[in-house]
Structure 1
Amino acid sequence: MTVQGLFSGRANAAAQISAVPRVAIVGRGFSGMMTAIALMKTVRTPFHLQLFDPNSSVSGGQALASARASTILNTRVRDLSVAVGDSDDFNDWLCSNAAFRAAVPAAIPGFRQIFVPKEIFSDYVYQRFSEALAARRDITVQVCNDPVVAIRRSHGNRFLLESANPANPLFDTVILATGYGLSDPHAEEPDVSPIRAQRLVARPHAVLLGSGIRVVDQLLQLRDSGYAGQVTIISRHGFLPQSHTPNSADPVFPAEALPEGLPDIMRFIRQACREAEEQGRSWQSVMNGLRKHARSLWRSLPARDKHQFNRHLRAIYDSHRNRLPEAMHLRLQRELAEGRTVLRRGRAGRRGLSGLFFTPAGSSAEEVLHAERIIDCRCQAPDLSAPLMQSLFSAGLAMPDELSLGLAVTARGEPFLEDGSTVAGLFAVGPLGLGSLPDIDLVPEIVSQAYAAAERIGECFYPQVKAV
């Protein structure tokens, strides 16, 4: 089935089906599409799937669909497979694409080590979704563009999703895949006349807010579009992404038992990085190896240490975890060395008639950065005050994690409550669980979690469908 199959009569007829389990996925970014693929490949009984998202088109993820998303993804092809147990699936898909092979001949016979444009990965994800749907004639899929504002328990332990459509049916299973919110793409310019702003700025000057990969993407996109003005990057902690190695760094990590306590763990990791470089490896290989231990380390930390990590260390950890392709990092370093781009550490405040109010780190004095354009590239945590989240909390269906970064979830995405119990039929897949599961914003971890959730859903559905 093709992409258009989602909107076919087959999908529209699904509203009449009540004899099979009904599954709702809230969000059609990468987490949502990946969960849909996992369900279709794992749950071997008929079901109806409804995808809720206010965006009118299916995409490969918020980070992929955004205008400020990476032109080149920062993860190698070998780590982007959506097929569990087959790390070569994306590489095989690229190898079967004649146009791509012709455009990147130097990588033949394989592309596992390269970085690809976001559009390529999005096409791959959506084709795998379409193929999975085409292979399941016993599944119906429906798309709803109304935003979900609340989720409530109804009779028979089913869920009611409240949206602009009052006729929404009840669902047996609901999967939240809303990711982590991005700033409003329509709020990049201050609410003043751009002509007035340009008159008050002596020379072309753009201010970028953020410290992650998105801010580097935006900088390079500005340059590639011909922008020659000064650029200032405002970063709360003053860190920017580090570089990947030219070739993939195989994960390594010391075999001895890890210490307890955040300060000792940090010293242990720094020492492991120094030893790796002395032995001819790279610190990147240690960071890659750390991922296998991240969850157990996180669980072992007391709440006090988790808060301390989030306040003081997460920024530097993310700058070493979410790395740039080497070519992009070299361009960034050249920008900084030549002074065309300046990195300033501090807090961004309100916007004025001609720029941005800014408080430098270590100072209480506010200054104005005059600029004709201000672009917010920061990635925001989920808004726990949003009506959808508040409906979950008030109904006792979920609770915030210890850091209030999102929902408290298990490894397979089941929200858990104060007493450790979980709510049957409710899942949160992807970055919504970042406060509970470090690195759940990375593709391999989202793929694993999506399949784990799908397996659990299949276990719950089988006796129900058998009875029907």
Structure 2
Amino acid sequence: MRNLVADGEVEVRPTRVVVVGGGAAGVITAAHLLRAADPAHPVDVRVVEKDAAMGPGLAYRTRHPLHTLNNFAGRLSAVEGDPDHLLRWCAERGLPVEPTTFLQREVYGRYLAGVLDDAPTPAGSMLRRDRGEVVDVRQDEDGLTVLLADGRELPGDTVVLALGNPPPRRQAEYERWGDRYQPDPWAESPTGSGEPAREVLLVGTGLTMVDVVARMHEASPGTRFTAVSRHGLLPTAHKRGSARLHDTFHPGVGSLDTLIERVRTRVREVEDVGGDWRDVVDSVRACANDLWAGLSRADQDWFVRNVARHWEVARHRMSPEMAAYVDRLRESGTLRVAQVGEVDPAAFDRIVNCTGPAPVPTRGWSRLVDTLLDRGALRGHRLGLGLALDPLGRVVDAEGRTNPRLYAVGAARRGTEWEVAAVPDLRQQAARLATHLRATQGLTGRGTRSDQVRPA
């Protein structure tokens, strides 16, 4: 492609962006990069994923009928600025989906794959998919080189780490129970082999636990479950109703104590006139990252230690159908909820780790993360929840230097922001990144002569 500029005619090549990870974060990012491109600002997007399918990721492969999305379909468009994109996709395929439907996760996985398949590709741009495991990202004079386990090398002007969620946190105190302990509920069937377990201990009381109970109870209806956590709190339930945000409350930036008091006051005001606390939580969630950025370091530390679990319980809710199912299990005595320390692990035939994903900088789950941490190209955020990043999502290395070519989206942003991994967060991150890269394209390859470009 050729482009006329003020100082004469030069050949322009697309900006090369390598997206590491083909799950939800990766495909949403790739789609927004293509949507932001045009013939004057072309992009060459390569998505690298070690699994065969791109889009579904681990969360959206399950086919269990109770494994639905944990939010209304009307809120889960993957395209920023197009809130009805998911609803149209379903309608075009004859799926009876309303804005308030809690869609099957397997269906949503197919939708995410379709987001990438249907992404517009402007003249001069391209989309490529590579299957393989990324094990390193190195700086060179032309930009960055992405190294795969099979020896391939992929050049990029920009690399986006869309790594997804690691497996659950290690629970060393349960490992001494040997084969009775399942450290990752999704790595294999948590029911184990041989006779069904009579008593199962589930470590964690969040949404992962709820999913595991549904799967194990279906396979072994006679099994009894005990779920434990530090607080012994279950997720709350969605209320069936409109998917529209009913409250536009913004508590304003302030100290954590001030924000908590303002939210509590707003909840009382809303409930006094017949409203619902969920609307207040959803309105706060919509501005949560602004509020997080306005907190002092001390307040952020306090939130993580003392408030975060209560926020997660109110923020991450079960569908009404799943909540009713859990209620039935508890009423029948099939499921009991307790705090850690109230039960003896020795009394259980099986122990399953349902604590949710470990932080991205945890060692041992990703060869790429381990390599970059070892070399000092990455470092963990001070809160230990994600990677150290600047406000644009660019990686900060062990020496405190920002890499202008290496970005992160999704769970790796936790700490820099608070709400980072849900689909609304991913589409906002992707849209901002695409806009930023388009605006800075002159720094990432635009105007480079074709004879200076190493073939991809």
Structure 1 length normalisation: TM-score?
A: 0.80
What corresponds to 1:175 in structure 2?
160
235, 238, 241: which one pairs with 2:229? 235
1:382 maps to amino acid: V
User: How many Å separate the matches in 1 of 2:358 and 2:330?
Assistant: 26
159, 163, 181: which one pairs with 2:148? 163
What is the Cα deviation at residue 441 of structure 1? 1.3
428, 433, 447: which one pairs with 2:408? 428
User: How many Å separate the matches in 2 of 1:250 and 1:263?
Assistant: 25
User: How many Å separate the matches in 1 of 2:122 and 2:67?
Assistant: 32
Contact kept? 1:173, 1:426, Cα under 8 Å:
yes
What corresponds to 1:151 in structure 2?
137
Which piece of structure 1 moves more, 381-390 or 36-45? 381-390
1:149 maps to amino acid: V
Answering whether residue 242 of structure 2 is matched by residue 250 of structure 1, we say no
User: How many Å separate the matches in 2 of 1:331 and 1:72?
Assistant: 13
Cα distance change of structure 1 residues 367 and 223 upon mapping to structure 2, 3 Å threshold: closer
User: How many Å separate the matches in 2 of 1:258 and 1:69?
Assistant: 41
User: How many Å separate the matches in 2 of 1:400 and 1:177?
Assistant: 16
Contact kept? 1:381, 1:406, Cα under 8 Å:
yes
Contact kept? 1:241, 1:322, Cα under 8 Å:
yes
1:257-313 deviation per Cα after TM superposition (whole angstroms, max 9, x unaligned):
4542x2332233222212211121111000011023312221222222222221222
Answering whether residue 55 of structure 2 is matched by residue 59 of structure 1, we say yes
Which piece of structure 1 moves more, 31-40 or 164-173? 164-173
Mapping for residues 4-403 of structure 1, pairs under 5 Å: 20-44=14-38, 45-65=41-61, 71-98=67-94, 100-101=95-96, 111-132=98-119, 138-145=125-132, 147-156=133-142, 158-183=143-168, 184=184, 185-186=186-187, 194-195=193-194, 204-225=198-219, 227-248=221-242, 250-252=245-247, 254=249, 257=252, 259-260=254-255, 262-346=256-340, 359-360=341-342, 367-372=345-350, 374=352, 376=354, 378-386=356-364, 387-393=367-373, 397-403=377-383
User: How many Å separate the matches in 1 of 2:259 and 2:45?
Assistant: 44
1:14-69 deviation per Cα after TM superposition (whole angstroms, max 9, x unaligned):
xxxx9543321111110001011111111224443332222232232332236899
User: How many Å separate the matches in 2 of 1:138 and 1:306?
Assistant: 41
Contact kept? 1:23, 1:50, Cα under 8 Å:
yes
Aligned length: 416
Contact kept? 1:425, 1:457, Cα under 8 Å:
no
Cα distance change of structure 1 residues 443 and 257 upon mapping to structure 2, 3 Å threshold: closer
Q: SS of the residue aligned with 2:394? A: coil
Cα distance change of structure 1 residues 339 and 83 upon mapping to structure 2, 3 Å threshold: same
What corresponds to 2:432 in structure 1?
452
- Give % identity: 22
State the Cα RMSD in Å. 3.0
Contact kept? 1:152, 1:391, Cα under 8 Å:
no
User: How many Å separate the matches in 2 of 1:126 and 1:391?
Assistant: 29
User: How many Å separate the matches in 2 of 1:31 and 1:286?
Assistant: 27
What is the Cα deviation at residue 453 of structure 1? 0.8
Listed as ranges, the gaps of 5+ residues in structure 1 are 1-17, 102-106, 347-358
Cα distance change of structure 1 residues 93 and 398 upon mapping to structure 2, 3 Å threshold: same
Contact kept? 1:68, 1:214, Cα under 8 Å:
no
User: How many Å separate the matches in 1 of 2:156 and 2:117?
Assistant: 23
User: How many Å separate the matches in 1 of 2:259 and 2:115?
Assistant: 40
1:314 maps to amino acid: A
Q: SS of the residue aligned with 1:407? A: coil
Contact kept? 1:414, 1:423, Cα under 8 Å:
yes
Question: Whose helix proportion is higher, 1 or 2?
Answer: 1
User: How many Å separate the matches in 1 of 2:50 and 2:166?
Assistant: 14
Contact kept? 1:402, 1:408, Cα under 8 Å:
yes
User: How many Å separate the matches in 2 of 1:69 and 1:390?
Assistant: 37
User: How many Å separate the matches in 1 of 2:339 and 2:115?
Assistant: 42
User: How many Å separate the matches in 2 of 1:26 and 1:432?
Assistant: 12
User: How many Å separate the matches in 2 of 1:308 and 1:315?
Assistant: 12
Structure 2 length normalisation: TM-score?
A: 0.82
User: How many Å separate the matches in 2 of 1:65 and 1:38?
Assistant: 23
User: How many Å separate the matches in 2 of 1:420 and 1:194?
Assistant: 49
Q: SS of the residue aligned with 1:149? A: strand
User: How many Å separate the matches in 1 of 2:276 and 2:85?
Assistant: 27
2:435 maps to amino acid: E
What corresponds to 1:14 in structure 2?
none
Contact kept? 2:62, 2:105, Cα under 8 Å:
no
Which piece of structure 1 moves more, 213-222 or 18-27? 18-27
Contact kept? 1:188, 1:375, Cα under 8 Å:
no
User: How many Å separate the matches in 2 of 1:412 and 1:438?
Assistant: 14
Contact kept? 2:199, 2:224, Cα under 8 Å:
yes
What is the Cα deviation at residue 369 of structure 1? 3.0
Contact kept? 1:74, 1:325, Cα under 8 Å:
yes
User: How many Å separate the matches in 2 of 1:73 and 1:284?
Assistant: 17
Cα distance change of structure 1 residues 429 and 256 upon mapping to structure 2, 3 Å threshold: closer
1:344 maps to amino acid: A
2:187 maps to amino acid: H
Q: SS of the residue aligned with 1:415? A: strand
What is the Cα deviation at residue 118 of structure 1? 0.7
